Amino acid sequence: MPDYILTTSPQMAKRHARHSRFQWYGRLAIAISISFMLLMFTAIFARGTGAFQKTMIAVDVEFTESVIDPKGTRVEMDLKQGNYKPLILSGLQQVVTGATERKDRNRLYKLVSGGAVFDLGERVAAKPDMIGTTQRVWIAASSEVDLYIKGKVDPESDEAVRRLKDQDIAWVKLLQEDGRVKRKFNRVFFTSGDSRAPEMAGILSAALGSFFSLLVCFLIAFPLGILTAVYLEEYAKKNRLTNLIEVNINNLAAVPSIVFGLLGLAVFLNFFNLPRSTPLVGGMVLALMTLPTIIIASRSILRSIPQTTRDAAMGLGASKTQTTFHHVVPLAMPGMLTGTILGMARALGETAPLLMIGMVAFIVDVPKGVTDVATSLPVQIFLWADSPEKGFVELTSAAIMVLLVFLILMNLFAVYLRRRLERRW
Amino acid sequence: MSDSRDFTLRRSNRRNQIKEYAIQAVLMACSFVAIFTTIGIVASLAFEAYRFFGRIPLADFLFGLEWSPQTAMRADQVGASGKFGVLPLLSGTLLISFIAMCVATPLGILSAVYLAEFARPKTRNIIKPMLELLAGIPTVVYGFFAALVVAPIIRSMGSGAGFQISSESALAAGLVMGIMLVPFISSLSDDVINAVPQALRDASYGMGATETETITKVVLPAATPGIIGSLLLAVSRAIGETMIVVMAAGLAANLTANPFEAVTTMTVQIVTLLTGDQEFDSAKTLAAFAIALFLLVLTLGLNIVALRIVDKYKRKYA
Amino acid sequence: MEKNMTEETAAQTDASTPIMTARGVDVFYGKKQAIKNVSLDIPENQITALIGPSGCGKSTFLRCFNRMNDTIDSCRVTGDIQFAGQDIYAPKVDVVALRSRIGMVFQKANPFPKSIFDNVAYGPKIHGLSKSKDHLEDIVITSLRRAGLYDEVSDRLDEPGTSLSGGQQQRLCIARAIAVDPQIILMDEPCSALDPIATAIIENLMDSMKEKYTIVIVTHSMQQAARVSQQTAFFHLGELVESGETESIFTNPEQERTQNYISGRIG
C-alpha cells in the first residue's frame, strides 16, 4: 500500500496561513467600525457631560427700593423688569474692589449671565419682602466663566484668541478665593427653551417638539400602517393593483428623507396651507416616511402567523373580517407594535425633512400643542452645532446624549414588548 | 330533528355582508396612501421643477458647469445671472459617495463574511447588536462628529504632511458616511451570504478546500449578484444622505475630484436654498425642487436596479 | 492497539486489504448519540454499500470518513478511524490533506455556480495540482471522461454547471471529486434525486470506477446496494447490525433484523 501522507505539507501551511490572515481581516473590519463608534461616543460624552452642571456665582445683592421699585407700587410686572444690573454690579464690586472704571465695570458685569437680571426679577416678584434687605444670591455665571471653571479655557493660551481675558480670570480667582463660585446641577438645560446665551439655553422646547411630532406620527402611521399590512396580507388578491401598491411601498422605503420634507413643503404647507414649523406638519411628514417601514415589518409578522389559526376560525363559520380582527390581528399586535416603535425611533432621529418644513426656527417658548411653532431634538442639535459660541459645543454634545438615551429607551421598550408579549407557536 | 332547523345556505344577513365590504373598502383605502404619497412626491417635485425649467433651460441645468444661485437673489435678476448648472453638485455628491463606498464596501463585506462564516454564535450575538446600534445613530450625530472631530484631525494630518486641506473637506464627510453605511451593507450582505446553500459549502469542504478558499472562491462568487445589489442600495443611500454633508461638506460648488477640497452636494444645496427667508417663487427655491427631482430619479433608479438584482438572486436559491 | 487491530481485520476480511478501518466509533450530536460503537472495514477497490432505514445514522457514519462532521459545531466523534494505517482524527492530520484523499459526492447534485470546466478545475486549482494551463485542461478532460460525461459536454465546457440535467449534474460532481485524484470516493445517496435512467448510468459508472477508486456509498435502495456493491453494511438505530459480502447479506443474513429489513418488515 502506498504511503498516503495526511499531515500538513508546506503548501498546505501556506493555505492555512492565508485562511487565518483572512479571518483577521474580518476581525479588523469589525474592530474598525466598533472602535469608530466608541470613539464617537467618547468624544461626545467627554464634551457633553459638562453641560449637566453649570457654574454659579454668589453675589451679595442689596435690594434697594429706589432702584427696583421707585414708585413703591409692588406691581409684579414692574418688579420683574426692574433695573437689577447696578445691584449685581455693586455686589460684585464688593469683592472685586479694583473695577471702578466704566470699561472695567462692563467687563466685570460680563462675568455673570445676561439672564441673571431676569432671574433676580422673578425672585423679587415672588417674594417682594426682599426689597430693602441685602441677601447673598447665587446667580448663573456667563458661559465663558463656566467654561473656565470647567477647565475648558487654557489661561496660558494667547490672550487675543480667547474671550476671557487675563483680567477676567484674575477677578474670577478673587471670587473663587472668597468661596463665591460653585457648580451645581444645570436645571435650566432641562427646563427651558433655546437661547442665544449658552448658559441659558435648554432642550425642553425641542424635546416637546419631538414628542408632539412623534405623537402625530404615531397616530397617523400606526393605524394606516397596520391596516395596509392587513389588507395586503389578508385581503388583497394578487392582481396588478396590489402589485402596484407593493412596488410603491418598496420604492417609498428608499426615497431619501429630504424628499419627504419637500413633499411636506409643497403639499402640506403651500397647497393645504397648514401652519408652518409645527409638530403637526412635522409629524405628518415623519408618518409618511415611517409608513413603509411599519407596513413591511407588520406584513412579515402577519405572514409568520400560522395558517391554522385562520383555518380554525374560518372552520367555525367566522367571516373573513371576524377571522382577521378577532384572531389574526391580536396575535400579530405585539410584533406590529414593536415594528412601529422601531420605525418611530428612526423618525425621532430624523432631521433633514424637518428642516424643509421650517421646524428649524429659534424657539424659546415651550410648545403646548401640535400647532405651536416648534423644533425637534435633532434639529436643535443641528442648530447648536452650527453656533459659533464655544459654550454650545457642550450643549450640542449633551443634547446628543439625551437624544441617544431616548433612542435606546425606545429600542429597549421594543425589545421588552417583543419578549413579553410575543407568543411562540 | 325538529322542523325549525334552518338548512339554507343562502347569504342570510345582508347587513353583515355590507359590513364586510365596508371594512374591506376602508382597508383598501388605507393601502392607497402609499400610492398617493408617491403621486404627491412626483407631482409636487415635477410641478415646481417645471416652473423652474420655464426660467432656466433644461440643458443649462443638466450640463451647466457652474452653480452659483446666490447671484440671482434679487427678483429683477431672476434667471438672468444665476448659474444653475447641476454638474458641480453631482460631482460633489458622487465624490463623497465614492469615498464613503471605498470605506464601507471592504469593511461591510468583511464584517458580514466574518459574522456569517467565522464568528461563533456567542460572538455573533454580541457584535450584531453593536453594529445595529451603529445603524441606529441619527445622522445628525454623525455630522456633528465629522465636523467637530474628524475634519480637524484630517486637516492637521494634512498640514503635518505638508499640504493644505480645507476645513470642510469631502474626505471628512465621506469617511464618516462610510462608517454609517457599514452596518447597512454588512446586514444586507449577511443575509445574502446566508442564503448561499450549505450544499455548495459542503461540496467545497468535501474536496479539501479551506474555509477561506470556500468563501472567496465559492460562496462570495455565488453571492456576488446579491452583494452588488446591496452595494447599490448603499450608494443610493449615500447620494440621498443629507445631514452629514450639510454639517461637514460645505457649500462651495467646486467641480473637482480632489477629496481634500470642499465640495457641495445636491442635498446640501436643497437645504441651503430652502432654509433661508426668501419668497417661494424665486428661481432659487424652485431650483431646490429641480435638484430634488434629479435626486429622486437617481436614487429610485439605483434602487429599482438593485432590487431587481437581489430578487433575481433570491429566486435562484429559493 | 495496532496488533489488536490486525487480528480483527484478519478475522473479518478475505477478499482485499482494507484501506479504511473503523473501530468503536461513536458519534454524538450534542447529547444525542447518533452512532453507537461501530466497527467496519472498507476494502480497497471495491464498492461498499451502507444500507438501513432512514435516520439509522448511515450518512452520519459516512461523513466521519472525511471528517465532514467537523463542519457541524455540535457534532463529536470518538473511536478510531484509520486511513491507510493512519488515525484520521489524530491532531497532526490536516483535514485539507485528508479530504483531498477522500472525496465526496452528495445526495443532491451541488455544482458550483461556475462553468462546467471551472467546476472540475476547482479542486486541482486549490490544491495546486496542475503545472500549466494545458495540464489543467488534461486533468479536467480526463476527469470528465472517467465520470462518463465528456462526450455529452465536450462542446460546451464554458456553460454553467447548473444548466445540466440532474443526472449530468451528479456526474459533474463525480468528475469534480475525481479531479483531485482521491483514493476513496464517498457517495451519500447519489441517485436519490434522479430518475431510473440517470440512476442506471451512474451505477454503471461506479462499476467501472472501482478499478481505480474505492467507493463507499450510502443508499436507501436495497436493490441498488445489491446491484453495485461487493460489500454491504446494514445499520439500524445507530448500530451496525451486520456487514459482509453483499451476496451473503442478501441471500443469507445472520441477524434477524437484517432479514426483516431485507424482506421489508422494517424500514
Helix and strand element counts for chain B (H, E): 13, 2
Residues in CB range of B120: below 8 A, 6 or more apart: none
List, in sequence order, the alpha helices (H) in A307-372: 307-315, 320-322, 329-348, 352-356
Cβ separation A1–C17 shorter than 8 A: yes
**CATH 1.10.3720.10 occupies which residues in chain A?**
204-421
SS3 of B48, please?
helix
Contact status, residue C203 vs residue C191, Cβ threshold 8 Å: yes
Question: Which residues of chain B lie closer than 8 angstroms to C187, CB-CB?
Answer: none
| Range in C8-12, C73-77, C183-187, C207-211 with the lowest mean pLDDT | C8-12
C112 closest CB neighbour out of B205, B218, B316:
B218
**Distance between B32 CA and the closest CA of chain A, angstroms:** 7
CATH number of A204-421: 1.10.3720.10
* pLDDT over threshold 70, residue A35: yes
B221 part of contact set with chain C, CB < 8 Å:
yes
**Amino acid A384: pLDDT:** 93
The DSSP H or E segment spanning A4 is none
Which chain A residue's Cα is nearest to B147? A385
**Distance between C100 CA and the closest CA of chain B, angstroms:** 5
Please state the rounded mean pLDDT for residues A139-165: 86
Please state the rounded mean pLDDT for residues B137-158: 92
**Amino acid A315: pLDDT:** 86
Edge-to-edge strands, sheet with C47-51: C102-105, C184-188, C214-218, C47-51, C231-236, C239-245
Burial class (CB in 10 A: 0-12, 13-18, 19+), B123: middle
Q: Per-residue confidence at B81, pLDDT binned at 50, 70, 90?
A: low
**A5 vs C63, residue with greater confidence:** C63
**Amino acid C212: pLDDT:** 92
* pLDDT over threshold 90, residue A84: no
Q: Per-residue confidence at C135, pLDDT binned at 50, 70, 90?
A: very high
B207 part of contact set with chain A, CB < 8 Å:
no
A15 closest CB neighbour out of C17, C83, C96:
C96
**Distance between B220 CA and the closest CA of chain C, angstroms:** 11
Cβ separation C95–B208 shorter than 8 A: yes
Which domains are delineated in chain B? Answer: 83-316 (1.10.3720.10)
**B9 vs A298, residue with greater confidence:** A298
Which chain C residue's Cα is nearest to B219? C112
**Amino acid A401: pLDDT:** 96
**Amino acid C16: pLDDT:** 61
Domain boundaries defined on chain C: 2-262
Please state the rounded mean pLDDT for residues C46-65: 92
What does the pLDDT look like over A239-261, one tens digit per residue?
Answer: 899 999 998 998 999 899 999 99
What does the pLDDT look like over C7-36, one tens digit per residue?
Answer: 444 444 445 678 999 999 999 998 999 999
> Which stretches does DSSP call E strand in A141-217?
181-185
Write out the three cell numbers for C227: 446491484
**Amino acid B180: pLDDT:** 96
Contact status, residue C204 vs residue C229, Cβ threshold 8 Å: no
Please state the rounded mean pLDDT for residues A32-48: 94
User: What are the φ and ψ backbone dihedral angles of B138, each rounded to 5 degrees?
Assistant: -60, 150
Express as a percent the part of chain C with pLDDT over 70: 93
**B4 vs C224, residue with greater confidence:** C224
Contact status, residue C117 vs residue C199, Cβ threshold 8 Å: no
Cβ separation B200–C110 shorter than 8 A: yes
A73 part of contact set with chain C, CB < 8 Å:
no
Q: Across chain A, what does the average pLDDT equal?
A: 89
Chain A, chain C: beta-carbon pairs less than 8 Å apart: 39
**Amino acid C117: pLDDT:** 95
Q: Per-residue confidence at A3, pLDDT binned at 50, 70, 90?
A: low
What does the pLDDT look like over A198-210, one tens digit per residue?
Answer: 888 999 999 999 9
B203 part of contact set with chain C, CB < 8 Å:
yes
**Amino acid A1: pLDDT:** 45
Cβ separation C100–B207 shorter than 8 A: yes
* pLDDT over threshold 90, residue C63: yes
* pLDDT over threshold 90, residue A287: yes
Q: Per-residue confidence at A82, pLDDT binned at 50, 70, 90?
A: confident
Express as a percent the part of chain A with pLDDT over 70: 98
Q: Ramachandran region of residue C43, left (φ > 0), alpha (ψ -120 to 50) or beta?
A: beta
**Amino acid B260: pLDDT:** 84
**Amino acid A63: pLDDT:** 87
**Amino acid C2: pLDDT:** 41
Cβ separation B200–C96 shorter than 8 A: no
Q: Across chain B, what does the average pLDDT equal?
A: 87
* pLDDT over threshold 50, residue C6: no
Q: C2-262: which CATH topology?
A: Rossmann fold (3.40.50)
Whole-number Å distance between alpha carbons of A214 and A220: 10
B207 closest CB neighbour out of C71, C108, C180:
C180
Please state the rounded mean pLDDT for residues A214-236: 95
**A310 vs A421, residue with greater confidence:** A310
Interface test with B, best of C94, C112, C125 (most B CBs within 10 A): C112
Cβ separation A262–B106 shorter than 8 A: no
What does the pLDDT look like over B164-219, one tens digit per residue?
Answer: 777 788 999 999 999 999 999 999 999 899 989 999 999 999 999 999 999 999 99
Question: Which residues of chain A lie closer than 8 angstroms to C128, CB-CB?
Answer: 11
**Distance between A17 CA and the closest CA of chain C, angstroms:** 13
Which chain A residue's Cα is nearest to B186? A30
| Range in A130-139, A231-240, A414-423, C246-255 with the lowest mean pLDDT | A414-423
Chains with 3 or more CB pairs under 8 A to chain C: A, B
User: What are the φ and ψ backbone dihedral angles of C228, each rounded to 5 degrees?
Assistant: -100, -25
B138 part of contact set with chain C, CB < 8 Å:
no
Cβ separation B140–A382 shorter than 8 A: yes
Q: Per-residue confidence at A124, pLDDT binned at 50, 70, 90?
A: confident
Interface predicted TM-score (ipTM) of this complex, two decimals: 0.90
